[in-house]
Structure 1
Amino acid sequence: MVGRNMAYLRRHEVEKLLHLDKGELDRLLEEDEDFPEGSRDHHSLFDQALGKEPPVTWDGGSVYIWAARSSRFRERGAVLLDPALDTRSVAPGKWLGFQPTSQGPAMDWDTDLGIVRIVHTTRHGAACAMAEELAEDVGAQGVITVCALFGDIGFSGPALIAADTAQPFLEYETQWGLVTRLVGQPLPWWPRALRRSDVISQWSPGAPVTLAEVLPDEKETTLRQAATVRWPDDAAKTALVDLANSLRNHDIDSLDSEIRIFAEHGGHPHGDPLLIAARHRTEGYPLPRTDDRDLLAAGWRTIASSQLFEAYEPIEIGMHYAADLLPYGPRTEVRLRGPAAHRWGQHLAACTPTAVHAVLAGDAHDVTFYTDRTTGIPIVRKGSSRDGTWVFLAPLQLEDQGAQLQSVILEDTVWVQTTDGRIHPGPCTPGDQLWWGPGGGDRPTEAAWVISQLMDDISTRVSLADHWHHAPAGLTKLLNETRRYGTELPRAVLEQARTPLVDGTS
């Protein structure tokens, strides 16, 4: 099952789980066609090093689930998957209170089966880790199973992953509606942004809905702190605050949507009830945004070219969330050994690194910083001139007035050679990449449409809007072929490919 912690059991572990005597597992495998199938795919490096045939292993969760649904092994299977629970009459449970735990805020409920702990987190493996912790804690007796949120909606409510303290390494999916019936009342649920101990600890049965603030995340905090720096112009501060407000508004919109979806499911006639236990304060939302895109773009240009330490993290965030406002295109990496890349590199200017250079360099140590004199794009050379790479942000346009496209070279990216003897990495738009060669979808249409625009005007600011409709069919077909590294396509070949045929096709 997608989402649960996977544990693979060897033969002796399956026998121990099911309390089988020697030879019983073989008989079980022969007689029960529903028993989970074993596999040799999951083996240890130790076995591999010795050249041993890997042993058969079974998905432990699947065996545990199978046991719960069998008549003979039901008591050794998953606690909350016993089919008898569907018809069993249970007494109403009792709320035992909030529990701060190592895996997140939790609620304990006393039921007919024992204490069920619900950890209000979507952290992967949380149910397993919490059950293991409880199994090892002598003073925590009474909790028989731990449930954690999976994040989406299951058949009867929020999806739950469970792990029993008797078998803490084996996770399985259980139903919100079953746990609701065991506790005897609607269960509380908190949206992701309000799933905090200071909020969840305020709840008790019958308590009013908690109104809580949505806390800024790390990205928003970074942007607001950077806005307090003394920048060369006010545009940079405006851009930082605007993006911080945008991220906060997006979080609020996501929270509203999450609450609406889960509330509608809980109110559905065929669903099981849930209590929306907390909502966010709405005063002051949405936060104001700046409509002047030229001003925002000027601000991001200032940040991108800054050498201030405080510009590094904001530009890293901006490259993901405000890419359409930056003066550069997408991140591109090419090998230095390519002839086109080598020729291009000979005309680059070494420079003092900016914030963008620092982001492109990442944690690499052997780096050199450059600027393309023609397009102004920042470039980082990683490694040696023999086996290194150029890492750069592609240009948005080629300001090469008076020249024409002479040819394109397919070498890691699309290189454009002009009639004045220059060579440039192909321009692009922030959210796209220039691909070619056979592949699924519309892979070559981006490059085909960019090349077609440059053939008409080398200095145009390229667009990739609806490229799958605009790209000439013949040019797309030309770029949808497997090409040798460094293939050069002269203008005459490109012109022929994009020229419409007599029947109207191209």
Structure 2
Amino acid sequence: MGISSTYLSKAEVQDLLGVSSFGMWRLPRQHKDFPAPEKDHYRGPFAPEPDGPVWDGTKMYEWAAATPEFQHRGAFLERPLPGQRQPGRCLGYRDTAHGPATDWQTSIGVIRMLHTTERGAASAMAVDLVAVHNREIVTVCALFGDIGHTGPALIAADTAQPGIEYEARWGRVADLAGQSLPWWPDLLRRPEVIRLWEPGSPAVVADVLADDREQVLRRAARNTAFSEPARSALNAMADAIRNQRVEGVATDIQIFGGHSDRMQTRLVIAAQHDETIHPIDVEEDEELLEAGWREIVASSQPDAVAAADVALGYHPELLPYGRFTDVRAKEGTVAERWARRLTVCDPTAGHATLAEGKEVEAFFVDPLTDMPVVRTKDDGDKGPKWLFYAPLALPAGRGELASAVLYGTVWITTTDGQVHPAPCTPGDHLWWGDGWGDRPTEAAYVVNQLLDNLATPISLRDHWSKAPAGLTALFNEKHKQGTELTRATLLHARMTPPPPRR
């Protein structure tokens, strides 16, 4: 959320201030603080150049309100308050096309408070009011989303100049309204909740509605095609998301309510969540949860596809997959050697998350790691791709790491003739070369572990401090795609001490 920028031409500034062309010429000579012309930083690349200089509308409107000669043409909520004011009163709730609102009768006219952080809402509402020949509402305020010195930050647009937005003070509106103003946490800022409030009433206790992610997970958990462990895993993630959202409401109330107490801000918390039913107890047995998610991602149920997509965005560590990776399917590469052992299969939820938005040629599975693999169609430009998740560990066997091959990611060849994408955790990635100050410690740390035990479960915790300096230096070099680093090269690099500090 932010103030929508408006730039005014010379003619528009003259109209705003009610001056002639000569008067406009005199203004910067009479007022040293008169805003200077500016470049329109928000003009689109194909928009025509303005015919002449332009001024920031917000700065000009606020300058007018602070300049005695033009106060009557400046921003309403920046003008000096009337000396004697009639007590304000709440006119009640209003449904609008731009969100729920409450109207307040004040000594300067009606102020409409829009309970939304949608960008441009204040100006859009003011424009609509002008279009219906509004004669009562002088100013529309919307929420900025942050908190200011006197309360929640506001963005205002006056019906006298509906295209110009400016920042307004909560305390100023409260002074005009003659009372503390209601505020709703974001997730409770709904019409059916807001319309229940009236001055003097206690905070409404309202439910935090399930978001799209929670609805997907709850629906999947009702699917009897899944086992009880899988359904428990789905419900556990839904419960965790619900708790997180409720905690967000509680935090907002603490921040905005606490600020009101400390600063004596004129603010009323108008709604709160039901504290008697939160937080929900969440299943924390990771082995049970991981077993449930292994079943889900191996399923072809539509509910499984939707749930896997949620899990990848919310808690990918519960899934049996490492980092998403894509490489070009080219002959003679290490990826081609690996692809020879892949077997064609019907798609699962895991395949669906890989293939989303892609033109797919076929679905595969790696029989040694059970990782889903997708081959895209030839796009006629650079050729098809292999899409896959890195494994979390390599299968146990009789071999050792024979080499590391650099092609799109790090690949591992073994002494018993196998080729694998190097294992990697979901939140990391394996790379090499100059990272503009960032060094490829992830690749160095993974290879360091595999040199000792090919089947070790990979950890990348503290890789930046634990990766051997010599291996990090080796991977920091600008190797070409397809470069193969032999076991001897890797071991020699690992034993190479870091250069002395000067």
Stretches of structure 1 that go unaligned for 5 or more consecutive residues are none
User: How much has 1:441 moved relative to structure 2?
Assistant: 6.5
- Tell me the distance in 2 between the aligned counterparts of 1:464 and 1:447: 9
> Within 1, Cα distance between the matches of 2:251 and 2:242?
14
State the Cα RMSD in Å. 2.7
How far apart, in 2, do the equivalents of 1:254 and 1:47 lie?
A: 41
1:327-366 counterparts in 2 under 5 A?
327-337=320-330, 339-366=333-360
- Within 2, Cα distance between the matches of 1:53 and 1:208? 53
From 401, 411, 426, the equivalent of 1:415 is 411
Q: Which residue of 2 aligns with 1:6?
A: 5
Aligned counterparts of 2:223 and 2:460: Cα–Cα separation in 1: 36
The residue aligned with 2:468 is: 472
Does the aligned pair in 1 maintain the 2:180–2:268 contact within 8 Å? yes
Q: CA deviation at 1:495?
A: 2.2
Q: What is the aligned partner in structure 2 of residue 404 from structure 1?
A: 400
Aligned to 2:273: 280
Q: Which residue of 2 aligns with 1:205?
A: 199
Which of 152, 177, 181 is matched with 1:187 structurally?
Answer: 181
1:82-101 residue pairs with structure 2 within 5 A? 82=79, 84-85=80-81, 88=83, 90-101=85-96
Aligned to 1:110: 105
Q: Which runs of 5+ in 2 are unaligned?
A: none
Q: Residue 446 of structure 1: CA displacement?
A: 1.7
**Superposed displacement of residue 185, structure 1:** 0.8
Give deviations 1:486-505, integer Å, cap 9, x for gaps.
33333333223222539999
What SS class does the counterpart of residue 414 from structure 1 fall into? strand
Aligned to 2:295: 302
* 1:273-293 Cα distance to aligned partner (Å, 9 max, x none): 211111111223222221322
Distance 2:390 2:51 in 1: 48
Q: 3-state DSSP class of the match of 1:363?
A: coil
SS at match of 1:332: strand
CA contact (8 A) 2:469 2:498 kept: no
Q: What is the match of residue 488 of structure 1?
A: 484
Asked if structure 1 preserves the Cα contact closer than 8 Å seen for 2:430 and 2:442, the reply is yes
Structure 1's 366 and 69: CA in aligned 2 closer, same or farther, altered over 3 A?
farther
* Letter paired with 1:408: A
Between the aligned partners of 2:408 and 2:467, the Cα distance in structure 1 is: 21
1:221: Cα distance to partner? 1.5
Aligned to 1:289: 282
TM-aligned CA distance change 1:259 to 1:403, over 3 Å: same
Identity, % of aligned positions: 44
Given that residues 231 and 237 in structure 1 are in contact (C-alpha distance below 8 angstroms), is that contact kept between their aligned partners in structure 2?
Answer: no
Task: Check conservation: 2:360, 2:374, Cα contact below 8 A.
Answer: no
State the one-letter code of the partner of 2:39: S
Measure, in 1, the Cα distance between the counterparts of 2:451 and 2:208: 51
Q: Which residue identity does 2:316 align to in structure 1? A: A
- 1:114-263 superposed matches below 5 A: 114-138=109-133, 140-263=134-257
1:117-148, CA deviations, whole angstroms, 9 ceiling, x for partnerless residues?
A: 1111122222122122212122x321111111
Q: Does the 8 A contact of 1:36 with 1:66 survive in 2?
A: no
Counterpart for residue 72 of structure 2: 75
Whether the 8 Å CA contact 2:35–2:55 is kept in 1: the answer is no
Confirm or deny that 1:59 pairs with 2:43: no
Distance of 1:16 and 1:337 partners within structure 2: 66
**Greater Cα shift, 281-290 or 383-392:** 383-392
Instruction: Say if 1:106 and 1:117, in contact at 8 Å, map to a contact too.
Output: yes
Is residue 319 of structure 2 the alignment partner of residue 326 of structure 1? yes
**Secondary structure at the residue paired with 1:73?**
helix
Q: Quote how far apart the aligned CAs of 1:459 are.
A: 1.3
Q: 2:390 is matched with which residue? A: 394
CA distance in 2, matches of 1:240, 1:358: 18
Give, in angstroms, the shift of residue 474 of structure 1: 2.4
C-alpha spacing 1:115/1:239, structure 2 compared with 1 (3 Å): same
CA distance in 1, matches of 2:22, 2:487: 75
Check the 8 A contact 2:226/2:296 in 1, yes or no: no
Q: Is the 8 A contact 1:408 1:489 kept in 2?
A: yes
| TM-score, with length taken from structure 2 | 0.91
Are 2:31 and 1:38 aligned? no
Going from structure 1 to structure 2, the CA distance change for 1:475 and 1:503 (only over 3 Å counts) comes to closer
Equivalent residue of 1:263, what SS?
Answer: helix
Q: Name whichever of 25-34 and 161-170 sits farther off.
A: 25-34
In 2, the alpha carbon distance for the partners of 1:363 and 1:169 equals 39
In structure 1, what is the Cα distance between the partners aligned to 2:25 and 2:440? 55
